[in-house]
Chains A and B, each alone.
Chain A
Amino acid sequence: MEKRFMKGCEAIAEAAVRGGCRFFAGYPITPQNEIPEYLSWRLPEVGGAFVQGESEVASINMVYGAAATGKRALTSSSGPGISLKAEGISYLASAQLPAVIVNISRGGPGLGSIQPAQSDYLQATKALGHGGFRAMVFAPATLQEAVDLTYNAWEYAERDRGPVLILMDGCLGAIMEEVELPPMKELKIENTEDWDLSRANGRTDAHMITPILPEPALEMLNRAKGMVYNMMWPMDAKAEEYMLDDAEYVVVAYGIAARVAKEAINELRAKGVKIGMIRPITLYPFPKSIENLDYSKVKGIIDIEMTIPAQMRDDIELQVKGRCPVHEYGRSGGMLLDDEGVYNAIAEITGGGN
């Protein structure tokens, strides 16, 4: 495998190309600009198309069109732009078109700030658009993980025929790390038949792709999707479990927050505090790891997020079911989590490490 030292946004862009992405449309917004900038020259190299849309709304709808041709399509943005894309993401879900959306998230609400934050958890997992659909949400914590998740994101999008979201904060988008780049994927076209307006798969009959359906058909579609969300997706849930065996305190954190928390956990462990961590890699489906903890040992859960108030907390509480206290610590508005702050917050909650 090829190793390269890359910036987060560019690593995602290159992984997308290698994962088969051949269309990108997007609109400039900090802190994700390196994704469109990279793809503006990279996609034409591999016979793909890049369009700088006139807005996020237009861009997601260009992706909707491109996805309908059987091509793997991508768009990226940050919080304010993802809000605008909500329309198109909902239409992708309704028309059952596969596409990947990247959110390099920043401080909110509103125009918020351009500095990194994890303030879009609820938008990503609960309400990516109107109408009650769900999208799988991947949350990498390293650039290698970002590469691997992006590389395979279309497989999920195409299997389940809908949008897939990669949620990564602006820190990870901006840092540089060494990544192993997987090889270019050979794409199959035969499995695109149901949504592909091209005739590449040999189809000769007329084809309709529609975001509007007669009521009974729409209910049937929603029922089928509900089965997929509730029965199939839990099997795709992923989490990293760290030092849980004897843990009396369990940190739950994803993305950059998990990286900062891990440093604190290592220091606290060195001082004898029995603490571990669950790091969800899929935010939706939300992994069941918290539910299965041994609550005869666990004295507390600490939800650490780079947003205030904590947004993942509801999902955590649904699994804790009152069996131990749930604490939260975070920074917000583009103010970053730092080692000292996280260490002190955990130390205070656990009463150890001082």
Chain B
Amino acid sequence: MPEYKRPSSLMPMATGYCPGCMHALATRLVADVIDELNQADNAINVVSVGCSALNLYSWHGDVIGAAHGRAPAVATGIKRCLPERLVFTYQGDGDLAAIGLAEIMSAANRGENFTVVFANNQTYGMTGGQMAPTTLIGQKTTTTRFGRDPQTTGYPLKMCELISVLEAPVFVARYALNSPKGVSDAKKGIKKAFEMQLAGKGFTFVELLTNCPTNWGMSPLDTLEYMNTNTIPYFQPGVYKDAEAAK
């Protein structure tokens, strides 16, 4: 029968995230995997700007805060100097897919041997719910009051699809955290990405579809169904690239 213990890489207190926020869930999943791989003393968490920055205060392990969007650049500097360490960035969608687009694409293209954990909740949570590059068409935000209009704001960016066309990345996958199956798969995906990194295989990218009850204006439970009917059909979960499977 399974057992579960709170992972050692989390501070012994509640996170700074809102009730039901899947940032907290995503962070916990990473911490779970680090414990399972016995990497608590070896991991370096490169935290970015936005709600993901709250990780700075809930992470019990080596952690460094990066500038907005620059976590893949900071991780590049760290990993090139400390190749034996398990290095990962934890980034949100505004950070990774807007201001940090150059950094993420270039780090992926160089095949940097670290892991990116990308929490995609389709909004700028920390600043109060503005439109993100991943905001769905028609989704209302504080800067798209009548819903996102593709005529003026384009379409939600699909990062897994973008990154998987590059030569260098070895593992690119997307999971939705609104069901036990999705969370369980996500945990396996994170584990696989970390294992590939530890084996020196190259760049690994795990996108996690998450929610923002506060800025979506819904109860945590309502976000689960919203994700089923809106988020998941557009951002299809799945493994987009797996260099090991291809062999």
- The answer to whether any beta carbons of A and B sit under 8 Å apart in the complex is yes
Q: How far is the CA of A135 from the CA of B102 in the complex (A)?
A: 28
CA of A204 to CA of B41, assembled, Å: 8
Residue of B nearest to A49 (CB): B80
In the complex, which residues 1-57 of chain A have their Cβ closer than 8 Å to any Cβ of chain B? 22-23, 25, 49, 51, 53-55, 57
The residue of chain A having its C-beta at the shortest distance from the C-beta of B56 within the complex is: A210
A88 interface residue, CB < 8 Å from B? yes
Interface status of B241 (Cβ within 8 A of chain A): no
A67 vs B81: C-alpha distance when bound (angstroms): 9
A208 touches B64 (CB 8 A): yes
B-side contacts of A51, CB under 8 Å: 76-77, 80, 110
Q: Are A197 and B82 in contact (CB under 8 A)?
A: yes
* Interface residue from A87, A199, A204, A211 paired with B65 (Cβ < 8 Å): A211
Return chain B residues, CB-CB under 8 Å to A147: none
State how many residues of chain A have any CB contact under 8 Å with chain B: 37
- A-side contacts of B70, CB under 8 Å: 57-58, 61, 64, 87-88
Q: B151 to nearest A CB, angstroms?
A: 30
Question: CB of A69 within 8 A of chain B?
Answer: yes
Among B56, B59, B67, which residue has its beta carbon within 8 angstroms of that of A61? B67
A209:B73 contact, CB within 8 angstroms: no
Query: Are A22 and B65 neighbours in the complex by a CB distance under 8 Å?
Result: no
Say if the beta carbon of B131 comes within 8 Å of chain A: no
A212 contacts B77, C-beta separation under 8 Å: no
Q: Indicate if A161 sits at the interface (CB-CB under 8 A).
A: no
Mask: chain B, 60-76; 1 = CB below 8 Å from A; 0 = not: 11111111001001111
Q: Enumerate chain B residues within 8 angstroms of A54, measured Cβ to Cβ.
A: 102-103, 105-106
Inter-chain CA distance A68–B224, complex, in Å, is 39
In the complex, the answer to whether A23 meets B66 with C-beta atoms within 8 Å is: no
Chain A residues with Cβ below 8 Å from B46 are 65
A95–B65 alpha-carbon span in the complex (Å): 8
A95 partner residues in chain B, CB cutoff 8 A: 64-65
Tell me what chain A mostly uses at the interface: helix, strand, loop, or mixed: mixed
Listed residue (A64, A65, A68, A211) with the most chain B CB atoms within 10 angstroms of its CB: A65
Flag if B80 contacts A58 (CB, 8 Å). no
Contact A68 B64 (CB under 8 A): yes
A198 CB within 8 Å of chain B? yes
Q: Please, which residues of chain A bring their CB within 8 A of the CB of B67?
A: 61, 64, 87-88, 91, 211
User: Is B53 in contact with chain A by the CB < 8 A criterion?
Assistant: yes
Q: How far is the CA of A68 from the CA of B53 in the complex (A)?
A: 18
Residue in chain B with minimal CB distance to A97: B64
User: Assuming the A-B contacts A49-B81, A65-B73, A91-B67, are A58 and B102 also in contact, with contact meaning beta carbons closer than 8 angstroms in the complex?
Assistant: yes
Q: Quick check: is A270 within 8 A (CB to CB) of the other chain?
A: no
Q: Tell me whether B103 and A23 are in contact (CB under 8 A).
A: no
Kindly identify, within residues 62 to 96 of chain A, every residue whose CB is under 8 Å from any CB belonging to chain B.
Answer: 62-69, 71, 73, 87-88, 91, 95
**What residues of chain B have their CB less than 8 Å away from a CB belonging to chain A?**
41, 44, 46, 53, 56, 59-67, 70, 73-82, 85, 102-103, 105-106, 110
Ranked nearest first, the 10 interchain pairs of A and B with the lowest CB-CB distance are A65-B77, A66-B77, A61-B73, A54-B106, A65-B74, A61-B70, A62-B77, A69-B81, A49-B80, A58-B73
Q: A23-B81, A51-B76, A65-B73 are in contact. List 13 more A-B contacts (CB 8 A).
A: A51-B110, A54-B105, A58-B70, A62-B73, A62-B77, A64-B66, A65-B46, A68-B74, A197-B64, A197-B85, A198-B81, A208-B62, A211-B67
Report A's interface with B, CB cutoff 8 A.
22-23, 25, 49, 51, 53-55, 57-59, 61-69, 71, 73, 87-88, 91, 95, 197-199, 204, 206-212
